Structure 1
Amino acid sequence: MAGGELEILKGINLEIKSGEAVAIIGASGSGKSTLLGLLAGLDEASEGRVVIGDTDLAELDEDGRAVFRAREVGFVFQSFQLLPALTALENVMLPLEMQGNKDARQQAEHFLDRVGLGERVDHYPRQMSGGEQQRVAIARAFAAKPRILFADEPTGNLDTATGDRIEELLFELNREEGTTLVLVTHDLQLASRCERQLTLEAGEMVAS
């Protein structure tokens, strides 16, 4: 930057086991979302390595990381990130079709049913509540059978009761599908449900 170098994260060293549920917590500006972006291959680290399974993300170019994310990684965002012109079913089917999955419709219908939206497959995001949209996003994330799921404040835009239901759904699918879950949250109650909490303070890990 014009005023000098801005160091967002420093000295981060962590290992997350397959199937584990881990929460990354910390104050706003502590580097939580940046760390999530690096772990997911959405951003590139200026130094260090991020390895998922046997794949070193630093050895992949942008296209290679995109292919890897499509095959191995799922996302649930605070803002849902649904395509407004597509129905719930089409939103869930889209990443499956991009993978060339011949059973995309059947798989999408299965996971929409799993999240309690089997009767809403033809509804558009604007016809759904925030909690219903987040359930579509969760179905979309799990339908692709990712090795690891990253969730950035998954209950942040929801009321308490709806957030609790989304929380239950995330952990239920995490257990049943064996998917590694890494979530960023300021909700300490949500974080406490994970097997481990990683605390960031000014870009450094201060507890784990």
Structure 2
Amino acid sequence: MNQMTDFNAGQPQPMLRVSNLTHRVSLETDTLTILKGVNLEINRGESVAIVGRSGSGKTTLLGLLAGLDTPSEGAVELDGARISEFGEDERAKLRASRVGFVFQSFQLLPAMTALENVMLPLELAGIENPEARARELLGRVGLEERLNHTPRQLSGGEQQRVAIARAFASDPVVLFADEPTGNLDNRTGHAVSDLLMALNREQGTTLVMVTHDEHLAARCGRQFSIEAGELTEPSPAQEAAD
């Protein structure tokens, strides 16, 4: 059976399930273990934050969850599909149809306008009337007057709003956010995080976010900590004490 067409077969599955996930990279004289035996389940519609310092493994974990890379050991399932066993073409097809991304560095195409940046994934997915959908989303993020501006003509906060509109354009089942406010000042970061959380609630998307900002993480339904490649979930007593 083709796993790409069997997302919802059988009993309901968690949106994401990770089993004994380990990831290593080979260096010239050694092997570096970035993740060590990570286990994690995330249910549909949950918002989850993974908090850790730079170099803790959080961005590597996010990339494995999203199918941007494959683990050295263990399994990653997204909506019932074991993507850790997929080839690159299968993973790319899944990302295009079911996954949204928001990056710290915005990742907008500099030669395209805000409207064109949001339209592009819709066009690649073959969605009808991509311009209308892109205009609607840019209006929802408050950029209806900035449709024809290129990224260099937009502030950092406006660029991240375009990136959020693009991430939600194809109605993803899961949204991955990598330090979504990391390049913004506090005031702009709060406004962008308000927008991200509001759109996520409206669309019922599963949100998985990595951040070093504990205040932003606290806005999610569950929080995990990662340190030296090991993932832990604070107990309710620990959270209350904090």
- 1:125 counterpart = 2:127: no
1:97-151 Cα distance to aligned partner (Å, 9 max, x none): 0000112111111100000001111111111000000000000000110000000
Corresponding residue of 1:205: 231
Structure 1 gaps of 5+ residues are none
1:45-98 Cα distance to aligned partner (Å, 9 max, x none): 011111011211023110110010000000000000000100000000000000
Corresponding residue of 1:115: 141
Misfit runs of 4+, over 4 Å? none
Return the letter of the residue paired with 2:141.
V
Q: Residue 12 of structure 1 aligns to a residue in which SS?
A: strand
Q: Residue 7 of structure 1 aligns to a residue in which SS?
A: strand
Distance in structure 2 (CA, Å) of the matches to 1:207 and 1:70: 30
- 1:93 counterpart = 2:107: no
Q: Please state how far the C-alpha of 1:3 moved relative to its aligned partner.
A: 2.3
Corresponding residue of 2:217: 191
Return the letter of the residue paired with 2:230.
E
Q: Percent identity?
A: 63
Task: Choose the corresponding residue for 1:68, options 81, 90, 94.
Answer: 94
Corresponding residue of 1:175: 201
Provide the aligned length of Structure 1 versus Structure 2: 208
Over aligned residue pairs, what C-alpha RMSD do you find?
Answer: 0.8
Corresponding residue of 1:103: 129
Give the TM-score, by structure 2 length. Answer: 0.84
Q: Residue 161 of structure 1 aligns to a residue in which SS?
A: helix
Q: Which has the higher contact order (CA 8 A, sep 6+)?
A: 1
Corresponding residue of 1:163: 189
Q: Please state how far the C-alpha of 1:205 moved relative to its aligned partner.
A: 1.2
Give the TM-score, by structure 1 length. Answer: 0.98
